[in-house]
Amino acid sequence: MSLVNLIPSVIHEAPDADFSAYTYYQIFSTSAVTATINGVPVLMNPDSGLILTLKISSISATNGVFLLGSPMNVTTGVSYAGTESAPQLGGSAFL
């Protein structure tokens, strides 16, 4: 699934990330730190204005680094299976 069209609905600081309940796909920093993202050390420089967009599977508990994403059930649709009132993936859901 392409992550480019997703609009984040949550923001968590890295130490508070919950990978069992949320899917994170953007990351930015408010301080010059090195965070280990998906097993790779990445120097984050807030002066660059950089927001990385990728599927984040793991991150070190680095203060000043923030993850943006969505509750996992919204991203996968799994929790809404069989309901008519909940949002569904596809169509114009992310337009």
- Strands (E) across 1-95 are located at 10-13, 22-29, 33-37, 40-44, 52-56, 65-71
**pLDDT bracket for residue 50 (50, 70, 90):** confident
Sequence ranges of the domains in the chain: 10-74
User: Is the pTM higher than 0.85?
Assistant: no
Q: What is the pLDDT of residues 66-83, one digit of tens each?
A: 999 988 875 454 433 334
Q: What is the pLDDT of residues 6-48, one digit of tens each?
A: 678 899 999 999 999 999 999 999 989 999 999 999 999 888 8
Scan for tokens 């130490």, then name that residue: 15
Answer yes or no: are the C-beta atoms of 24 and 69 closer than 8 Å. yes
Q: What is the per-residue pLDDT for 24?
A: 92
For 52, the token pair is: 């990385």
